[in-house]
Amino acid sequence: METTKLPPSSPSSPTTSFSVPSAEKVDGFPRRSMRRARQRRSHSSSQFRYQSSQVELTPLPLLKDAPVAELHDLFCKKLQQCCVLFDFLDCVADLKGKEIKRAALNELVESVATSRGVLIEPLYPEAIKMISVNIFRTLPPSENPEFDPEEDEPTLEASWPHLQLVYEFFLRFLESPDFQPSMAKRYVDQKFVLQLLELFDSEDPREREYLKTILHRVYGKLLGLRAYIRKQINNIFLRFIYETEHFNGVAELLEILGSIINGFALPLKAEHKQFLVRVLIPLHTAKSLSIFHAQLAYCVVQFMEKDATVTEYIIRGLLKYWPKTCTQKEVMFLGEIEEILDVIEPSQFIRVQEPLFKQIAACISSPHFQVAERALYFWNNEYILSLIEENCQVILPLVFATLYRVSKEHWNQTIVSLIYNVLKTFMEMNSKLFDDLTASYKVLVLVSLQQRYGAVYTQAHNIHTLISEQEYL
Amino acid sequence: MFGAVNALGEALVCQALHRGVKTQQRRREGPAAALLWQKPRSAAQQRHSVTAILSKMAGADGDDSLYPIAVLIDELRNEDVQLRLNSIKKLSTIALALGVERTRTELLPFLTDTIYDEDEVLLALAEQLGNFTMLVGGPEYVHCLLPPLESLATVEETVVRDKAVESLRKISQEHSPVDLEVHFEPLVKRLASGDWFTSRTSACGLFSVCYPRVSSTVKAEIRQHFRTLCSDDTPMVRRAAASKLGEFAKVLELDYVKSDIISLFTALASDEQDSVRLLAVEACVSIATLLPQEDLETLVMPTLRQAAEDKSWRVRYMVADKFSELQKAVGPEITKNDLVPAFQNLLKDCEAEVRAAAANKVKEFCENLPEDSREQIIMTHILPCVKELVSDTNQHVKSALASVIMGLSTILGKDNTIEHLLPLFLAQLKDECPEVRLNIISNLDCVNEVIGIRQLSQSLLPAIVELAEDAKWRVRLAIIEYMPLLAGQLGVEFFDEKLNTLCMAWLIDHVYAIREAATCNLMKLVEKFGAEWAQNTIVPKVLGMANDPNYLHRMTTLFCINALSEACGQDITTKQMLPVVLKMSNDQVANVRFNVAKSLQKIGPVLDSNALQTEVKPVLEKLATDTDMDVKYFAQEAISVLALA
């Protein structure tokens, strides 16, 4: 095989092979409007199929009425009862059973949250089993193969009425003062965490929100799993960047990482630096950057605040992946650069100023006014301005020609006036340098004009001579 | 050799010219020194190295024509990515100019150092190096290409890495067995034990190309490395290994397939990640093909059965998607006993994705069933599932089925088709989703062969009419494309009676693409039914549109004439069409007039020279003096093409 085929493992890819009807394919462009017009059910669940035969549930006595001696036994029975799964796509099926399970889950949540001494060792495997049975499932294929989280409505999980309570229970369980990591770690193991991470691909934002908090608690309480969790998140990101470009939970995972990075010990381990350079920075190349950019930028800045020496890697990395055609992403990159410059150390700034300001100059001359505007806003930031002032000798020559040229020819008046302000600032900073640059720029323009048109002038002159000679003859 | 270099140099002179000034300056910059391809870190040093090349080259043969090459080399370092890219794409020219020796000692080490470049440049480089064997001195020296390709095989970007692996696979064939062991195999080992997952992923693709040509001790090492990668800690590497498992199995000795590959296959097929498991399904096809029939049951089938019932729909989807291949690989007996029930389950799967993939395979699966029991299996096991799929809730499933279901009629024969399939076809022809109907109509030819299309015509007509008037123009376009086929099968009378009006109505559709397709459709119909038919049924209607108040419709007349003139022949064209065209040259809309000129140019070759001279020429001459510049242009063009000037 000459090319490595990407596994059709993302929920979207298998669909593409047949989802575009031939009638729409006629001109090769499946039309968005048509795809949307298609009938769509907004709920989906692949949970139900694993149940072999349906069990009839009978209500158990209430936990609060149970004598202390029987409490644990009843708790256990309720957990077992909650292992039964229901078909939520058929909303009228087994309503009685669904209600019994919902009530049981509610009781379990309340009991874990409020009463002390409930969580004893024998309950751990039962609780984790109940959680696993309910939440771990292969996520269904996406309803919309080209799901765009920014524009399309997400498909919601149909079994949410139960699922939410299970997540709630899990969260209370982890947060309970009685929770003993030493007991839990036997059941919340690597395999469990891996499955938990896979669920972050859920299209349902409510589910991802719960998962985020839960994973955060697991990371905080089960120290033995930390390295493993970080490694698996790495794998998810790398697969997202280089294989599928599809994973719904990137933003949530980054949010967790933001606080993980915050807690890194100094000096940074090689593993963490590698994570920054080989995972976080390349994440900027993703097509769907806008969905998780805020969280990503936060992580990046966290790294810098931890250890200023990574600044150069970060800035050079961003410059390497600078968007070439997508102006929307360019604006995001500029935003991130500003966040970085906000906390940059002056000594680090000097190391990157040259390539950085070449890029900023390129942005200022962008015909897209939002890009130019975003870049010019840097001059409104006092800290950045102070950095520029300190290094005026280097920076002004880098941007001067662009500023001068764009001030004369940009189509957008706001940009022109912003540029005048910037030029004014520079003039006040260092009028001598400014004048020198103005003078040499004018010479340069003349020279280039001459180069460009010189040949034409010569030719014109020759023709003129020729004509006059002929006339003379 | 030098002749070639000079010729090349000359060819590139023009390229050098527009950079002349710079090059000239550099040329004057004085004597050369030092080594050429050292990593210059500053611009000054950079220029220095170019100067060095220049003077060295010029000194060597006293020939200025090598300067363009130096410019190319210089551009390898240019700040502009596009220039670097252009230069990399001309790498073979540079290498040819440098000669094999200097390519090996200077160019390749230099390229090995540029690996930090943009991915785009690296991709081009990786591709180029795959064709470099002759440029470094032939198979004897091919191993010189390994260092740069090795670095490229470790970069992050997947396309670059894949291209590097592709090139490595290519040049591995050019290694002698000794070189393969001395140079190539160590590289594979280094990649396989790399720190970062990228190099290990690349290694997966290289085992199978070196395995057949190395000694048995090295073979054992290779097998060991492959085993290690199959249980790698990162899923990316396991996926790469799983995707190469089938390919690797093919080059292994049968004993090792049984002892090594099967256990790896089983392990990958039960990996914790479904993205790995589904790739094992692909490997299953190759592995099953390699094994003798008697071993399949014990070695492959347990895993395959498990995959067909995997809890992840992605794995089941893969099984459905590969079903025909699997069926061929395991043979008729296992198919009868195992695959038939598995296929039934896939057709009834709870995920629409899986059902659609399986529905797509219905015809192929049935075709490949063993002949002795084919009909019985289809009738008792497959057809009941198919019947259910006809009324599936998901339209993708139905349309996947509709695209293959007609094929069953040839397998089942006339009687079964009429009794069992026909009701299904009719049901699908009435489906609410246009795509389903379209898929049925587009495959009518299969049924026609078995039972004749007449059986369907009663239901066919309403379906066609409805599609022909669908609100979506893409649907209308699709049905137009099937018109010639339908016309051929339904016959001329049926067509005249029922479909002719539709075909004419499309000519005045408000979407240009439809009018255009309708024009083309008419031409195909005339080719099918003949000129006489055209003269009686189509031509009068087309020509009638020449007087339409809407200029778009008048233009359609011209487009139809363009399309029909050849099929209709000289007589009809001259007597009926030409007068209309000529009359339209007085149209008040310029677009019509210049289309008259274009039409005349188009139908000119069909006309006789008399008509051309006496009728066409005056009109074109008149149009050539039109006030509209486009009309003038096309009239003049027609005059010159028809040689009437």
Report whether A173 contacts A179 (CB < 8 A).
yes
pLDDT of B50 reads 46
The DSSP result for A387-453, as a single string, is HHHHTHHHHHHHHHHHHHHHHHH-S-HHHHHHHHHHHHHHHHH-HHHHHHHHHHHHHHHHHHHHHHH
Chain B CB contacts of A24 below 8 Å: 474
pLDDT tens digits for range A28-56:
333 343 333 333 444 555 544 545 456 67
One-letter amino acid identity for B567? A
Task: Please give the average per-residue pLDDT across B548-566, as a whole number.
Answer: 90
User: Chain-centre distance of CA B227, in angstroms?
Assistant: 34
Instruction: Name, in order, each residue with C-beta under 8 angstroms of A107's C-beta and a sequence gap of 6 or more.
Output: A62, A63, A64, A78
Please give the Cα distance from B555 to B546 (Å, whole number): 8
| Residues in B 477-536 with any Cβ partner in A closer than 8 A | 477-478, 513
One-letter amino acid identity for A60? L
Give CA separation, A138 vs A49, A253, A414, B275, in Å.
Answer: 11, 19, 52, 12
**ipTM (interface predicted TM):** 0.76
- For residue B315, the chain A residue with the least C-alpha distance is A9
Question: Cα torsion for A196, A202, A205, A207, to the nearest 10°?
Answer: -40
Please give the Cα distance from A77 to A100 (Å, whole number): 13
Instruction: Name, in order, each residue with C-beta under 8 angstroms of A343's C-beta and a sequence gap of 6 or more.
Output: A301, A304, A305
Q: How far is B88 from chain A (nearest CA, A)?
A: 19
Query: And the tokens for A221?
Result: 């309480």
C-alpha atoms less than 13 angstroms from C-alpha of B144 in its C-beta half-sphere: 24
Where b means 16+ CB within 10 Å and e means fewer, B493-518 reads ebbeeebbebbbebbebeeeebbbbb
Q: How far is A4 from chain B (nearest CA, A)?
A: 7
Report whether A403 contacts A422 (CB < 8 A).
yes
Of the candidate ranges A430-439, B7-16, B210-219, B419-428, the one whose mean pLDDT is the lowest: B7-16
Q: Between A71 and A186, name the one with better pLDDT.
A: A186
Please give the Cα distance from B622 to A85 (Å, whole number): 84
Q: How far is A267 from chain B (nearest CA, A)?
A: 22
Q: How far is A3 from chain B (nearest CA, A)?
A: 6
Q: How far is A10 from chain B (nearest CA, A)?
A: 8
Q: What is the mean pLDDT of chain A?
A: 83
Is the model's pTM score more than 0.80?
no
pLDDT of B244 reads 94
Q: Between B82 and B230, name the one with better pLDDT.
A: B230
Radius of gyration of chain A (CA): 31
SS3 A85: coil
Of the candidate ranges A281-290, B26-35, B374-383, the one whose mean pLDDT is the lowest: B26-35
C-alpha atoms less than 13 angstroms from C-alpha of B282 in its C-beta half-sphere: 23
Radius of gyration of chain B (CA): 34
Residue A367 is given by DSSP the state S
pLDDT tens digits for range B168-220:
999 998 888 888 889 999 999 999 999 899 999 999 999 999 999 888 999 99
pLDDT of B231 reads 92
pLDDT tens digits for range A82-137:
888 888 877 777 888 888 889 889 988 988 888 887 888 888 999 999 999 999 98
**Of B359, B553, B320, B355, whose CA–CA distance to B439 is shortest?**
B359
Please give the Cα distance from A151 to B416 (Å, whole number): 49
Element of type H or E holding A44: strand A43-44
Query: And the tokens for A139?
Result: 């996520």
Query: And the tokens for A339?
Result: 């966040």
Q: What is the mean pLDDT of chain B?
A: 82
Chain A CB contacts of B474 below 8 Å: 23-24, 26-27
- In which region does residue B303 sit, left (phi positive, over 0), alpha (psi from -120 to 50) or beta (all else)? alpha
- In which region does residue B62 sit, left (phi positive, over 0), alpha (psi from -120 to 50) or beta (all else)? left
- Does the pLDDT of residue B30 top 60, yes or no? no
| Residues in B 573-602 with any Cβ partner in A closer than 8 A | none
Residue B36 is given by DSSP the state S
Q: Judge: B240–A243 Cβ closer than 8 Å, yes or no.
A: no
Highest mean pLDDT among A453-467, B24-38, B51-65: A453-467
Q: Judge: B351–A46 Cβ closer than 8 Å, yes or no.
A: yes
Residue in A13, A18, A20, A90 to test binding to B, most B beta-carbons within 10 Å = A18
Chain B CB contacts of A282 below 8 Å: 156
Of the candidate ranges B36-45, B290-299, B335-344, B393-402, the one whose mean pLDDT is the lowest: B36-45
Residue A324: exposed, middle, or buried by beta-carbon count in 10 A (0-12, 13-18, 19+)? exposed
Residue A287 is given by DSSP the state T
Q: Between A390 and B42, name the one with better pLDDT.
A: A390
Phi then psi dihedrals of residue A367, to 5 deg:
-70, -15
Q: Which residue has the tokens 């930031």?
A: A381
Residue B417 is given by DSSP the state I
Please give the Cα distance from A197 to B541 (Å, whole number): 68
Query: And the tokens for B259?
Result: 């002892």
Other C-beta atoms within 10 Å of B95: how many? 22
Q: In this complex, is the C-beta atom of A454 within 8 Å of any C-beta atom belonging to chain B?
A: no
Please give the Cα distance from B202 to B198 (Å, whole number): 6
pLDDT of A28 reads 37
Q: Judge: A34–B472 Cβ closer than 8 Å, yes or no.
A: yes
Highest mean pLDDT among B302-316, B404-418, B528-542: B302-316
Query: And the tokens for A249?
Result: 């939970």
The DSSP result for B207-246, as a single string, is HHHHGGGS-HHHHHHHHHHHHHHHT-SSHHHHHHHHHHHH
Highest mean pLDDT among A81-95, A280-294, B90-104, B411-425: A280-294
Please give the Cα distance from B490 to B498 (Å, whole number): 10
Number of H helices, E strands in chain B: 47, 0
pLDDT of B3 reads 36
pLDDT tens digits for range B223-260:
999 999 999 999 999 999 999 999 999 998 888 888 88
Q: In this complex, is the C-beta atom of A14 within 8 Å of any C-beta atom belonging to chain B?
A: yes
**Of B291, B200, B208, whose CA–CA distance to B239 is shortest?**
B200
Q: In this complex, is the C-beta atom of A282 within 8 Å of any C-beta atom belonging to chain B?
A: yes
Query: And the tokens for A309?
Result: 């020496």
Report whether A116 contacts A177 (CB < 8 A).
yes
pLDDT tens digits for range B481-523:
888 888 887 788 888 887 888 888 888 888 999 999 999 988 8
Beta bridge partners of A58: none
Please give the Cα distance from A144 to A154 (Å, whole number): 9
Report whether A229 contacts A190 (CB < 8 A).
no
Q: How far is B375 from chain A (nearest CA, A)?
A: 28
Which among A9, A18, A27 has CB closest to B314? A9
- Which pairing describes strands A156-157 and A43-44: parallel, antiparallel, or unpaired? parallel
pLDDT tens digits for range A361-375:
999 999 999 999 999
Report whether B394 contacts A21 (CB < 8 A).
no
| Residues in B 6-65 with any Cβ partner in A closer than 8 A | none
Cis peptide before A267 (omega within 30 of 0): yes
- For residue B240, the chain A residue with the least C-alpha distance is A4
User: Chain-centre distance of CA A104, in angstroms?
Assistant: 37
Q: What percent of chain B has pLDDT over 90?
A: 28
Longest dimension (CA), chain B: 93
Q: How far is B477 from chain A (nearest CA, A)?
A: 8
Report whether A280 contacts A303 (CB < 8 A).
yes
pLDDT of A466 reads 64
Total residue count of chain B as it appears in this document:
645
pLDDT of A317 reads 92
Q: Judge: B166–A2 Cβ closer than 8 Å, yes or no.
A: yes
